[in-house]
Structure 1
Amino acid sequence: MSVRLPSARGELRDARDRLVASDPGGTRLRQAARATVVVASTLVVERVVAWALGAQPLMLMLLGAIVTIPMSTGIRDTRGALVLRTAVLSPVASAVGVSLAVIAGQQHVLGLVLFVIVVFTAVWVRRFGPRWFHYGFLLWQSYFFALFLSPPVSALPSLLVAVVCATVWVALLLATVLHDDPEARLRRTITALRARARAVVSTCLDVLDDPGDRGARRALRAHRIQLGEAVLLLDGQLSDERALPDGVPPGRLRRWIVDFEIGMDRLCSAVLDLAADPGSVPRRQQTEVRDVLRQVAWAHPEAALAGVQRLEREGATPVSRRIARAGRLLVDTVDQWDSGALRLGPDAEEAHDSQDGDFESVVRLTGGNLPGVASLAERSVRSDGAGRWSPSRLRLTTRQAIQAGTAAALAILAGELISSQRYYWAVIAAFVGFAGTATAGETLRKGVARVFGTVAGLVVAVGLANLTADTSTLALVTTLACVFLAFYLQAVSYGAMIFFITVLLGQLYTMLHSLVDQLLLIRLEETAIGALIGIGVSFLVLPAGTRATLRAARAAFLEHLADLLEAAADALSAQDPRRDLLALTIELDAASRQVLRTERGLTYGRFFGAVRTGIRHRVTMLGVCAAAGRALAAALSTERPTSTPLADTCRELVAECRRLSAARQLYPPPELPEGTLPVAERVEPLLATAEREAGGPAPKPTATVTSLVAILRRLTQALTLLGHEPSRRQRPFTGVGGSAGTGGASPRRRSQ
């Protein structure tokens, strides 16, 4: 039974899914709405303050609105007390920035020197945590915008009153009407997870329709990566008890999340195998497979389950049975959430409370978002055994503060040559390249995006200025729209954010009656030279190399995989694992995401295809390892057979993980020590023994052991391929099962 919807309804359904899936938890939408509400309401507050002080209103309104934007986006605590605690020092940071700019700005050279010091300080204080990242950015933004407005010293008291009133007002908003409910956010994230799963299934159908379409496979890989990120977001939210639905313990919800991801792993793996060999399934049954995929994604659970059962009954081939089993797992898992089956009954609550009393989230969210690669970059540059004055002893925040200060000083010198009055645009372009980045590759990408966003924004800004020059209301509405769109698109495209910020600045110049075409050209020149300086400094001054960071990411991934395999060996030896297998699975997913995130920065802009292909081949194999590790942990957390050969297999794989982790290079692959057999040759006899024992007369859980043998064999193949050097003509494995975008199907067949 096909459940294909009419085209109009189908397009509407897909559009809604894309919107929900693009913003798990509604984080970007709420951030954009918060920024817009904060700016609009602060303009009203500052208008009242200006009237009360008898001051010029426009300057106070603009300053108050600009300095409170970092508060609306930087303070993301979900507890009102923590919001107020962070907000206490916000007026101080803003007041210091404004005071320094107004006083030092009267002496040009002093203002320039102080600008460099402010830039250094704003970056250096990030070592104290996200709260100080906010304070540093607020200090810098207040200093810059006060320079932009160039007020006289006599206006300083009114400016300080405006800053304090604005920051106090925003703190009250964030603690009350703009408060984010943790449970509602978790439910929105689960809705996004399911929308991303439907996007994966839709792309699976595209792959089956045209198995030779590489674009469909790349889209499947991208959607699978996005689904993995939603899984990590959910785990990060489990640490907040207020986010959990009533009666649902965090450990149980974590198991639900992992089961959901494993179901998607198996489905993608089977679909790719079917696409690789369509002749293995009769044409009529291929139609049934497509209908089952549609039913699993969009039909009622009862209809989906009936379709799965029909596919299992009607002479299914091995690959179609795999699709049916994956579909059944997904339908059952989703039904657990929809039906409320995850809630505990009164008799089970006490037992589960004791089990989940020491629950700890694996993922540490930063402002509600997944963390970047800063910790890995710091690991790659620090060396505790270095000499006292060695740069390798410096923390990453100190290195970036030196980089930012150096870039600011050079940008001032270059910017002064272009315009002695507008040099600060060059400083901004150089400074923001070090905000939210950890490696030279990330700074490069951000600098390029800033230049292109500025160019496009200037073109639009000129056209809009002609429309809004005589209508302040229209200019204000356009400014608020730019604020919303800039922060809504910030996480999607930095270039798009800069585009709308540039349009916004054009409107500010229009309201100040100082917009001329020559001024916009100066901004473009200053931005380009500042971005170029920031990129150059990131590569030449105390650089945190992307390649070194990728080595650290790979080593961390293999260490987490070794930990999971050690816990699996304990379980297979009838011992209690020292750590929770499901928590180790989430750690492995998080490490896999970091590998992929770092690899994107490494290959950006490179033209050395052989090296890039080799590195991507290894990243792909790490993704296969992630999928196999996830399946292993899930199998053992359900049923724990005792099998000495499988336990020994896990220990052999632990040794191989640590050997690969210790490799100094990313490419070519490390060589085996002399006299050492490849891991596949060491492991295969153990797996064969386990298979024989599972088929013998002893009362063993045969199906579980057979499944574990298949998982460990797949993991062995992936680790073996990490030591395999693909030729330039060879297309690397392109599966989609792991968090890094791969996994599931047999890597041997697909990569050779």
Structure 2
Amino acid sequence: MHPPTVPGWSRVLPQAGSGRLRDGLRDSRDRLIASDPGLGRLRQGLKAVLAVGTTVLVELVYARAVGGPVTLAVLLGAIVAMLVSTLVSEPSRTKTLGMMAGVPVAATVGAVLGVVTSAQHVLGLVTFVLVSFAAVWVRRFGPRWFTYGFLAWQGFFFALFLHPPPAALPFLIGAIAVASLWVGLLLLTVLRGNPQVRLGRTVDALRARSRAAIAAMLDVLEDPDANGPPRRLRAQLVQLSEIALLMDGQLADPRAVPSGLRRGQVRRWTVDIEIAMDEAAAAVVELAQHQAGLAAPVRSDVRQLLRSLGWGTGEQAHRWVRALEQETSHAPGVRRLVWAATDLLRLVEQWDSGQLDDPRASRADAQDPLDATDADGQFEPVITLFAGNLPGSAAVASSVVEDESARAWWSPARLKLTTRQAFQAALAAALAILVGEAISPQRYYWAVITAFIAFTGASNTGETVQRGVARVAGTMAGLLGAIALAHLTTGHHVAALAALFASIFLAFYLQQLSYAAMIFFITLLLGQMYTLLNTFTDAVLVLRLEETAAGAVIGVLVSIFVLPTGTRATARAARSGFLGQLADLMDGCADHLRLDRNADLIALTVGLDAWSRQIVNTYRAVARGGLMGVDRVRLRHRLSLLGACGAHARALAALVTESDVASAELADACTQLAAQARRLADLDAVPPRSELEVAVAERERITSSVAALADADPSSRAASIEVGRVADVLALLAAP
């Protein structure tokens, strides 16, 4: 069975409305599709609504059947359903069953501890601190334990929130078991996704993001002197790379690949799409810089080619390619764009036909790493997804705390990241209890949950600051919305329920896009819950804002002053990891050029993309979460250089993989580039001027040797050009 034909470059845009309106609608549609690769966010929101809604009904039946308190069963079941449905995302039914076996145990342990210790106020508070520590500490054992720890913490929290008596423990444990069994059944049946459909939708998003990038290229040509369009184009390419990484993670499931294709082929196709888009973007930027030297018909043909690539037919695009081929002898940028467009058309036609290239099909030696990994089932994704999403920067932050050179003098403890965060969470919880009780002895737990959540999903100080600010902003906006909405739905239970479930959906749908938006809708949700419980007052939500602000400030201060993981140190670790991966890729290219084909260059290339994403994320945390002055212009310049380096290295690896030609000169140049990348990776701070002098000398030596090789051997010309470009960027990165 061939992959389904999906909307893409071969689709004709419906002709409707004026040109500007049409383009705006077109771009908005592409951004919407591209913003949710595989419809993961939509699916997560719907899963949460379905799981919570049906669990509430099941808990109602359970409570009435055994004669227990309905509110206790419904609220506890709802929180279990919400967490489990959004955090459990195992690839097989067997793994889902294994994961679900621990869910009722974790939630029950937390709830029982909360009920047993709540009778003694001080004991309950001390236990709350200890549970906060344990819930974070167990994350060291993997993603599964992240879920278990969070469930145990929430079980304890809701025991404090609902104040059930010890006599209600059997009923409470039963409610947890019922919710766990029901949600587990949903995950094994109606909520179980089809990995092949998900991959196909992710390809839709990849193509939509490519069209959005083409729209940005047209903007660059329209206003070549402005800074905004090139910046937006780079952002589109970064997001394109993220979708490609998501696809690589989805390939961990063998069922994701359509019949007749192999996972290595899909990985290679994705990398080739990135390469062609990088080339097209670079060509457009080059053309924009030299537009004055191009004839008006050529400029018009370039725009027509881009439009046909994005929204025309393949036949139209091929026609404009042929027209521009007449101009390639005098316009290098045009020649580069023609090559990229031709490659994009070839790749799209391959996917739509289901006939992807086999990189080794024309070689006598069939023992390629790509073939071997597919044949024996040992294909390994470069990146491991968490709940179906790309992971955060925890791995990079962990490398920081394990490296003595990255530790500040005021944070000497040699602890793993999870242990540090466990101590931070426990201390933040203790301080939040003290401050929260001073604000309100009855509602102090809101400060505690805010302080605790500050260390969930954040791996360094900058990310914690970002989340704290976003939580307060989201709560403040949500407070205003909740008050207005509650006055509309009071006395109208159906409307309140509809608003509550809409808030659940939107909170989880927007979670990956905006943490503040998620908190906004969670606040609306709480307002509707209080409305249904007939306990809503404006004062209650204002009190929640005060407690939230206190908890956020405490979380931020603890992350800064107690066992901190520095944001800049994390960014340096990401940069070093990228350069180290680049060195490995250059060594692999050198081996291939010496006819040693053991290294999987495409996998190494995807690994470079993964490190590039970590650089973007950590640099963003530096820019947004830094409390001191941050040179954002310099950060953007460094990001653009690292991005260019990754693009050229990716193109070089693809060329070397496709070539059967041995070249000692190119191999030696790649070895020199690897050594230079490792030297830069070993630098902890700004490179010294001596490093720049060495880098410039090596660049001149490499570029002169590969230029001579390109003149003598035309078959090596393309690889020689990419080697020279990598050398140029490394020299720029060596600048102080």
Q: TM-score range by the shorter chain?
A: over 0.9
Matched, 1:332 2:346: yes
> Which position in structure 1 is the counterpart of 2:355?
341
In the TM superposition, what whole-angstrom CA distance separates every residue of 1:265-299 from its partner, at most 9, and x where no partner exists?
Answer: 00000111111221121112111111100111111
User: Is residue 555 of structure 1 aligned with residue 576 of structure 2?
Assistant: yes
Q: Normalised by the size of structure 2, how large is the TM-score?
A: 0.92
Range that drifts further, 605-614 or 317-326:
605-614
What SS does the corresponding residue of 1:369 show, helix, strand or coil? coil
Structure 2 match to 1:647: 667
- Aligned counterpart for 1:172 among listed residues 185, 190, 196: 185
Shift of 1:695: 3.2
1:627 to 644, 647, 650: 647
Determine the structure 1 residue equivalent to 2:471. 450
1:527 counterpart residue number:
548
- Aligned with residue 672 of structure 1, among 690, 695, 713: 690
For the 8 Å contact 1:382–1:395, the answer to whether it is kept is yes
Return the letter of the residue paired with 2:120. Q
Could you tell me which residue of structure 2 aligns to residue 746 of structure 1? none
Q: In the aligned structure 1, how far is the partner of 2:465 from the partner of 2:115?
A: 33
CA contact (8 A) 1:628 1:714 kept: yes
Does the 8 Å contact 1:379/1:552 carry over to 2? yes
Q: What residue in structure 2 maps to residue 262 of structure 1?
A: 275
Q: Which amino acid aligns with 2:352?
A: D
Give the Cα separation in 1 of the matches to 2:14 and 2:341: 17
C-alpha offsets along residues 308-328 of structure 1, whole Å, 9 cap, x if unaligned?
Answer: 112213566221221111111
Matches within 5 A, 1:673-712: 678-696=694-712, 700=713, 702=714, 704-712=715-723
Residue 743 of structure 1 aligns with which residue? none
Cα gap change, 1:683 to 1:19, in 2 (>3 Å)? closer
1:706 is aligned with what amino acid? R
**Are residues 96 and 707 of structure 1, via their aligned partners in 2, closer, same or farther at CA, if it must alter by over 3 Å?**
same
How far does the alpha carbon of each residue in 1:359-403 deviate from its partner, in whole angstroms, 9 at most, with x for none?
Answer: 3221222222112111111111114899xxx95431110100000
Partner of 2:590: 569
Distance 1:535 1:104, change over 3 A: same
Contact 2:245 2:606 in 1 (8 A): yes
Structure 1 distance, partners of 2:488, 2:681, is 60
Instruction: Tell me the equivalent position of 1:416.
Output: 437
User: What are the superposed Cα offsets for residues 226-247 of structure 1, whole Å, 9 maximum, x if unpaired?
Assistant: 1000011111122221111101
Contact map agreement 1:39 1:69 (CA 8 A) in 2: yes
* Matching residue's letter, 1:325: W
Instruction: Kindly indicate whether residue 418 of structure 2 is the aligned counterpart of residue 370 of structure 1.
Output: no
Find the aligned partners of 1:637 and 1:288 in 2 and give their Cα distance. 33
The secondary structure found in structure 2 opposite 1:96 is helix
Q: Conserved in 2, the CA contact under 8 Å of 1:565 and 1:650?
A: yes
Pairing 1:319–2:333 present = yes
- My pick for the range that moved more, 547-556 or 402-411, is 547-556
User: Unaligned stretches of 5+ in structure 1?
Assistant: 726-752
Alpha carbons 1:425, 1:526 under 8 Å: kept: yes
- CA-to-aligned-CA distance 1:79-114 (integer Å, 9 cap, x gap): 111111111111111122222222222221121111
Q: Please report how far the alpha carbon of residue 481 of structure 1 lies from its aligned counterpart in structure 2 after TM superposition.
A: 0.6
Structure 2 counterpart of 1:499, from 503, 520, 539: 520
The range that moved more, 57-66 or 44-53, is 57-66
Quick check: 1:662 aligned with 2:672? no
Give the unaligned 5+ runs of structure 2: 1-11
Counterpart of 1:721 in structure 2 is 732
Cα deviation digits, residues 37-67 of structure 1 (max 9, x gap): 0010011101111110122323321221122
Q: Does the aligned pair in 2 maintain the 1:36–1:484 contact within 8 Å? A: yes
- Taking the aligned partners of 1:446 and 1:515, their CA distance within structure 2 comes to 27
Contact 1:649 1:683 in 2 (8 A): no
Q: Equivalents in 1 of 2:706, 2:24: separation in Å? A: 50
What residue is the counterpart of 1:245 in the other structure? 258
2:198 matches 1:185: yes
Does the Cα contact within 8 Å between 2:198 and 2:256 map onto a contact in 1?
Answer: yes
1:151 to 161, 164, 167: 164
Q: Structure 1 CA distance, aligned partners of 2:234 and 2:224?
A: 14
- Distance in 1 (alpha carbons) for counterparts of 2:383 and 2:142: 16
CA contact (8 A) 1:248 1:342 kept: yes
Alignment partner, residue 620 of structure 2: 600
1:177-215 per-residue CA deviation (whole Å, 9 max, x = no partner) reads: 100111111111111000000000011111111112322
Mapped to 1, the partners of 2:297 and 2:674 lie a distance apart of 45
Q: Which residue of 2 aligns with 1:473?
A: 494
Distance 1:250 1:417 in 2: 58
CA contact (8 A) 1:31 1:488 kept: yes
Partner residue of 2:89? 76
Q: Which of 20, 23, 45 in structure 2 is aligned with 1:32?
A: 45
* Cα pair distance change 1:99/1:3, threshold 3 Å: closer
Q: Cα distance 1:689–1:109, how it changes in 2: closer, same or farther (>3 A)? A: closer
8 Å contact kept, 2:447–2:551: yes
Counterpart residue number, 2:153 = 140
Aligned residue identity for 2:695: V
Q: Which letter maps to 2:16?
A: P
The amino acid that maps onto 2:423 is I
Count how many residue pairs are aligned between Structure 1 and Structure 2: 710
Counterpart selection for 1:65 from 78, 88, 97 = 78
User: How far apart in 1 are the matches of 2:381 and 2:499?
Assistant: 42
Name whichever of 122-131 and 57-66 sits farther off. Answer: 57-66
Is the CA contact (8 Å cut-off) linking 2:402 and 2:414 kept in structure 1?
yes
Counterpart of 1:6 in structure 2: which amino acid?
Answer: A
The answer for the alignment partner of 1:6 in structure 2 is: 16
Which deviates the most, 488-497 or 469-478? 469-478
Letter in 1 for 2:528: Q
Question: 1: CA distance between counterparts of 2:180 and 2:109?
Answer: 13
Q: Distance in 2 between matches of 1:686 and 1:159?
A: 71
Query: How far did 1:420 drift?
Result: 0.5
- 1:637 alignment partner in structure 2: 657
Q: Which residue of 1 aligns with 2:240?
A: 227
In structure 1, what is the equivalent of residue 634 of structure 2? 614
* TM-fit CA distance, 1:585: 0.7
1:527 CA displacement: 0.3
TM-score, normalization by structure 1: 0.91
Instruction: Say which SS state the counterpart of residue 89 (structure 2) adopts.
Output: coil
2:199 maps to a residue whose letter is: L
> Amino acid of the residue matched to residue 696 of structure 2?
A
Asked if structure 2 preserves the Cα contact closer than 8 Å seen for 1:280 and 1:317, the reply is: no
1:401 partner letter: A
**Structure 1 residues 477 and 686, CA, compared in 2 at 3 Å: closer, same or farther?**
closer
Query: What is the distance in 2 between the residues matched to 1:116 and 1:263?
Result: 53
User: SS where residue 596 of structure 2 aligns?
Assistant: coil
Aligned residues of 1:80 and 1:176 also touching (Cα < 8 A): no
The 1:211/1:687 distance shift into structure 2, 3 A limit, reads closer
Cα drift, residue 458 of structure 1: 0.6
- CA pair 392-646 structure 1, distance change in 2 beyond 3 A: farther
